[in-house]
């Protein structure tokens, strides 16, 4: 990872923060993009672009181009930005499905579309998406989220085929991630079975590394001990 220029979307979230710190610790240069605002002062090895709506293709392109310009190159895109909701069809609204699609599919599509010209110049370009184990078979109330994450899976496979030999494209499929928000939502759960952000970050950064040069089109379950 040493010297690689990486964009991480959703960089200010629970998982994004851990992936950012792990990437920096391994010598990568990191541009974090997030919907939340950031007051971080840019350094040669790190920049944060806050207040970016990645569901807007033009704003996503501007942010990706800024990151590439800051480092002079782009080697990997890690699409963590997204959202979750639990809503049964009978009790919910069609707008929820549209919102989940925008947050999970369109953010990854917009950043990938913008990053492809930069990544193809790298010689070792990588795109890593965050899918979901729960999208392989949706449970009750999981329809909007699972459908959107299934879209991320199909986007991953399609991009891998389109960019074969130029950029590797893979997705990790976590189960429940051990975050403060998930602990608050499920206070009686056995959290020892959940995958930790650090465990997930290790897999993500492996896929972003030179060691994963022969891996593309993979949907890799990272389900902890569930």
Distances in Å between the Cα of 226 and the Cα atoms of 14, 134, 153, 154, 183 are: 20, 12, 21, 24, 15
Half-sphere exposure of 193 (CA within 13 A, CB side): 8
Q: Residue 169 contacts by C-beta under 8 Å, 6 or more apart in sequence? A: 112, 126, 127, 128, 129, 156, 159, 160, 163, 216, 217
Rounded CA gap, 190 and 225, in Å? 10
Judge whether 103 and 96 are in contact, CB under 8 Å: no
Judge whether 111 and 77 are in contact, CB under 8 Å: yes
Active site residues: 145
Rounded CA gap, 101 and 95, in Å? 10
Rounded CA gap, 221 and 200, in Å? 10
């Amino acid at each position: 990872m040493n010297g690689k220029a990486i964009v991480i979307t959703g960089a200010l979230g629970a998982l994004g923060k851990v992936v950012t710190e792990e990437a920096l610790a391994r010598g990568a240069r990191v541009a974090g993009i997030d919907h939340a605002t950031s007051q971080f002062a840019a350094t040669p090895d790190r920049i944060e672009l806050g207040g970016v709506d990645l569901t807007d293709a033009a704003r996503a392109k501007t942010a990706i181009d800024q990151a590439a310009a800051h480092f002079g190159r782009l080697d990997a895109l890690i699409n963590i930005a997204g959202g979750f909701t639990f809503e049964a069809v009978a009790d919910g609204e069609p707008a929820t499905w549209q919102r989940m699609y925008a947050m999970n599919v369109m953010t990854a599509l917009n950043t990938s579309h913008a990053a492809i010209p930069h990544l193809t110049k790298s010689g070792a370009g990588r795109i890593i998406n965050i899918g979901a184990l729960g999208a392989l078979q949706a449970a009750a109330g999981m329809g909007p989220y699972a459908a959107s994450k299934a879209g991320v899976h199909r986007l991953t496979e399609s991009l891998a085929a389109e960019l074969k030999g130029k950029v590797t494209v893979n997705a990790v499929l976590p189960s429940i991630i051990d975050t403060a928000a998930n602990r608050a939502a499920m206070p009686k759960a056995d959290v020892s079975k959940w995958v930790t952000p650090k465990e997930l970050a290790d897999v993500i950064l492996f896929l972003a590394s030179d060691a994963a040069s022969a891996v593309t089109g993979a949907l890799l379950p990272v389900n902890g001990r569930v």
